[in-house]
Amino acid sequence: MKRTRKPPRIPVAVRRLDMTSRTAERIGGGAVILIILALFLLVRAEPETLKPLSLLQINDLRAEAGQTETVTRNGTVTASVSAMDVLEVLGASPEDATAAAVALRDASPTRGQRLRPGTALSAWFEAGEDGRERLAGVSAKLSPKATLVASRSSDGRFKANLLSARTTTALHRVAGRIDTSLADAIIAGGGTRQHADMFAGLFPEDPALAKGGRKGERFDAVIEVVTDERGNFLEAGDLVFAAFNGAKTSGSWYRFTPEDTGLPEFFSRSGVAGDEFLLRDPVRGGEMSSGFGNRMHPITGEMLLHAGIDFRAPVGTPIRAAGSGLVTDMRYGEGYGWFVRIRHERGYETVYAHMSGFAENLTPGRTVMRGEVIGYVGSTGSSTGAHLHYEVLRNGFYVNPETLALPTGRDITGNKTVLAAFEAQRDAIDTFRNEAAGGQLFAATASTARMTNAPAP
């Protein structure tokens, strides 16, 4: 997860309330076409200037281009169908398909690895010297911000480049009352289900909130929105502020990344990260099916230490990072299946095993935040049914996550420099909320739960 930057102040930020993922797809599709057209031109003109090229420049080039005589066809990479297979199906010769696929692979950020399942490919064809159609290029959309493009150069070989959109991060406020559910309200306002999950996770005193909350309860959220140079929506970013005023609990939380740890966390107005340092339930609603300690191996009959606890849950159930930290390992391990390992502060590590898949964009070396979805429940490795095997280590030793006495969240009030940076960011968020709200901030009410922080004024 990227570090939280000081939020830019924009006067009218709620204009994109109607932005939906459909809009994002439409814009994304348009961008691919622009890139294709521009690259087609550039390849002929001066291939060495291909990188980096912004979407804006591409658009301008396209305007100069006029009509081009190419045919474009689209396909999608799946777990069993590689980019090369897709290109052949779309009409490329086996040689061209192989050459273009290798070029894409070599230019991808995960150099040498196959494109991930679900990657959308767009191939375009031109008339060759013999008059027959041949592959001219292919683009692979890796994310809303990055597209790989391989094109045939004058020597007939395929060269690929990674194009990045120049992006701007703006703030977007979603606030109101729950009608059907918190998730519905946040999604209707331009946020995502992930934002709603993250929001609910900040108010664990009221388990009803994770199930949708109660009609009439008030919420206030600020999320980051990534746009291109022209202000077109590209993707939703992080939740940076959450306030809730409900029947069982209320409070407000500000996302902040202290300079000394580099790990993002949510802090109260006063600068205290709430509750316990690690979540007790990385799978929300998961039923604990096996505890920590010695047990007989179901197959060999040997007594072995079960070094973690198991949560039974259906395949695909989201798994949340128990605490903020650095992803130190994620891969397939014997026994563990697909697993993720996270290093936290104060000597703690957590491990999540038997996953069916990882969250999009998760990579080793990235920081995640407490409650962020990192992957999905599965039954990979030595597993006899869908469950999460969850381990906690303290200073390298396995500890029982169930009975572990956890330290409370971080308190930055004692560190003047860090506190000042936090306060500046907090005040910028509040100013933004005031401007975006038209003075409709909800009034503070007494909290009935063990929240240590008061709602924002």
Report residue 304 as tokens.
């072995």
| Cis bond before residue 204 (omega within 30° of 0) | no
Cβ 353 to Zn ion shortest distance, Å? 7
Cβ 345 to Zn ion shortest distance, Å? 25
Cβ 285 to Zn ion shortest distance, Å? 18
CA distance 451 to 33: 51
Under DSSP, is residue 224 helix (H, G, I), strand (E, B) or coil? strand
Q: Does 354 bind Zn ion (CB under 5 A)?
A: no
CA distance 369 to 451: 20
The 10 Å CB-count burial string (b at 16+, else e) for 12-46 is ebbebeebeeeebeebbeebbebbbbbbbbbbeee
Cβ 206 to Zn ion shortest distance, Å? 30
CA distance 434 to 457: 10
Residue type (1 letter), 428:
A
Comparing CB distances to Zn ion, the nearer of 93 and 379 is 379
Q: Which residues, listed in sequence order, are joined to residue 121 by a DSSP beta bridge?
A: 75, 140
Which region, judged by CB under 5 A, interacts with Zn ion, from 58-66, 310-318, 328-336, 394-402? 310-318
Cβ 383 to Zn ion shortest distance, Å? 8
Comparing CB distances to Zn ion, the nearer of 152 and 306 is 306
> CB of 277 within 8 A of CB of 323?
yes
Which region, judged by CB under 5 A, interacts with Zn ion, from 33-41, 102-110, 263-271, 385-393? 385-393
Report residue 225 as tokens.
């929105």
> CB of 452 within 8 A of CB of 268?
yes
Cβ 372 to Zn ion shortest distance, Å? 22
Comparing CB distances to Zn ion, the nearer of 145 and 389 is 389
Which region, judged by CB under 5 A, interacts with Zn ion, from 1-9, 259-267, 302-310, 369-377? 302-310
Q: Residues binding Zn ion: what is the number (CB under 5 A)?
A: 2
Apex CA 10: angle with CA 173 and CA 165, to 5°?
90
Comparing CB distances to Zn ion, the nearer of 272 and 307 is 307
| Near Zn ion by CB under 5 A: residue from 284, 389, 410, 426 | 389
Comparing CB distances to Zn ion, the nearer of 206 and 310 is 310
| Near Zn ion by CB under 5 A: residue from 220, 238, 275, 310 | 310
Which positions lie near Zn ion, rule CB under 5 A? Answer: 310, 389
